[in-house]
Amino acid sequence: MGAAARLVLPSMGKVPGVQLAAGADIRKEARSAFTREHGLPAFDSVEALCRSGEVDAVWIETPNHLHCKHVITAASHGKHVICAKPLAASLEECDRMIAACAAARVRLLLGHSKIFDSPVRAFADVARSGRLGRVNQIDCSWYNDWLRRPRLASELDERMGAGFILRQAPHLMDIACHIAGSRAARLRAFAGQGHCAALIQFESGAVANLSLNGYGYFGTSELVWDIGVFGEWRQPAKPAARKSAMSAEEKYAAAAPERKSGDAMPFAGLTLVSCERGVMRQSPKGLYLYTDEGREEMAVPPYLGRAAELIELRDALNEGRDVFPNGEWGKANLGLCLATLTSAREARDVDLLTGA
C-alpha cells in the first residue's frame, strides 16, 4: 500500500468481473487507512492475505527483492498473480517463480509493462500485419526525473534487483521486443549512474537503439506535445531537488500524490519504428504512419491505464489460456536488463542466445 498502490488502486472497480477483496501491508497505519477507505480487510503479511478464501488473485507491488518470495507464497495458496516489473532480482528467482505457478496451475502476469499501453500494442499490430513490410529499426529515447524522486537505499541497489537500469530499462525493453516480434540475439550497452544506451540485434535482423536518462534536467515529454507517461498533459518545470537515499518513514511521508491518467495516449519517451515501406511514431491520439503517400494518423483504442492488466488476467482465465506477458516474458526482459549491466561493466557484446 505504498507509492505503487496509488497507481494500481484507481483501476479497481473499473473492470467488470474484477472486485477488490483485501489488501496487505506491514504498516499498521496503512492497513487502517485501507480499511477506512475501502471497507475491506487488510492483512499484516502476504501469507495472511493469501490464506483468505475471498481472494482469487494477488497483485504484487512490493520491493523487487521480495517478488520471488511473495509470488511463490501466492502460488502455494492457489492464487493467480500479477507481479510488477522487474519480475525478480535474478534469473534463478524467475525460474523458481515460474515453476511454482506452473505446479499450482495459476497464471503469472508481468505487471507494469508498457505492452499494455495502447500505442505499443498498435505498433506491434501494424508490424505483424505486414502493411509496412519488415521492421528494420526501433529507436526508443526516454529522459525523465527518476533520480530526483524519493528513494530508499534498497531501491538504488542493483544487487536487490533495483537501481535506475533495472527499474527503468524494462519499459523500453518491453516496447522494443514486442514491436520487433523476434528473439533478441546480441546486445551492447554503455551506462552510468542515471543513464544508459543499449543496442540490441534481433534474430529477424532488426535492431533496437535504446536511450535512457534519469537525471531530471530534461523530459522527453517536451518532444511529444508535453504528454507524460500516463497520458497526462505536462508543462516543463524547474527540476525538483535531487533526492538521496532516505528511510522508509521519510519516503512514505514524501511519496507523491495519486497520479491519474490523462485523456491522451501514454508516452514512455519517444519511439520511432522504421520498416521497409514506412515509419511509425506515436501521435497524441494514436499512431502516425509515414509512407510514400505522406503522413496518415491511425486511431488506436483508448488508453486503459493499469486496468489493462486486470482485463488481461480476467480474459485469460475466462478463455482458458495463458496470460501475456507471462513469467517467461518477464524472465527474458530481466535477462536483457542484466545483460545491459554486464555489457556496460565489462565493455563487451553479450550473446543473448548463449549467455556468453
In 41-200, which ranges are continuous DSSP H helix?
A: 46-50, 67-76, 91-104, 118-129, 164-180
> Rounded mean pLDDT of the chain?
93
- The tens digit of pLDDT for each residue in 51-87 reads 999 999 999 999 999 999 999 999 999 999 999 999 9
SS3 168: helix
Q: Taking the C-alpha atoms of 79, 85, 88 and 91 in order, what is their torsion angle to the nearest 10 degrees?
A: 110
Q: Grid coordinates in use for 214?
A: 534519469
| Helices and strands: H and E segment counts in the chain | 10, 16
C-alpha cell at 89: 532480482
252: helix, strand or coil: helix
Q: What is the pLDDT of residues 305-314, one digit of tens each?
A: 999 999 999 9
pLDDT digits (tens, 9 = 90+) for 228-251: 999 998 877 777 776 667 777 777
Residues in the chain: 356
In which band, very low, low, confident or very high, does the pLDDT at 262 lie, cut at 50, 70 and 90? low
More confident site: 3 or 346:
346
- Residue 263: its pLDDT value, please? 79
The three three-digit cell numbers of residue 70, written as one number:
511473495
Q: Which residue ranges form the domains of the chain, and what is each CATH number?
A: 5-112+308-325 (3.40.50.720), 114-303+336-346 (3.30.360.10)
Measured CA angle at 117 (ends 83, 132), to 5 deg: 130
- pLDDT at position 172: 98
**Does pLDDT of 154 surpass 70?**
yes
Measuring CA to CA, which residue among 248, 316, 259 is closest to residue 17?
Answer: 316
Task: Provide the pLDDT for residue 243.
Answer: 62
Q: Whole-model pTM?
A: 0.94
Task: Check: CB of residue 282 under 8 Å from CB of residue 252.
Answer: no
Q: Is it the case that residue 301 has pLDDT exceeding 70?
A: yes
What per-residue confidence (pLDDT) applies to 259? 55
Distances (CA, A) of 156 to 87, 230, 296: 17, 23, 42
C-alpha–C-alpha distance, residues 66 and 222, integer Å: 36
CA of 136: how far to CAs of 130, 190, 221, 276, 279, in Å? 12, 22, 25, 7, 10
Nearest Cα to Cα of residue 70 among 102, 47, 100, 52 = 47
Side-chain-side CA neighbours of 68 within 13 Å: the count stands at: 14
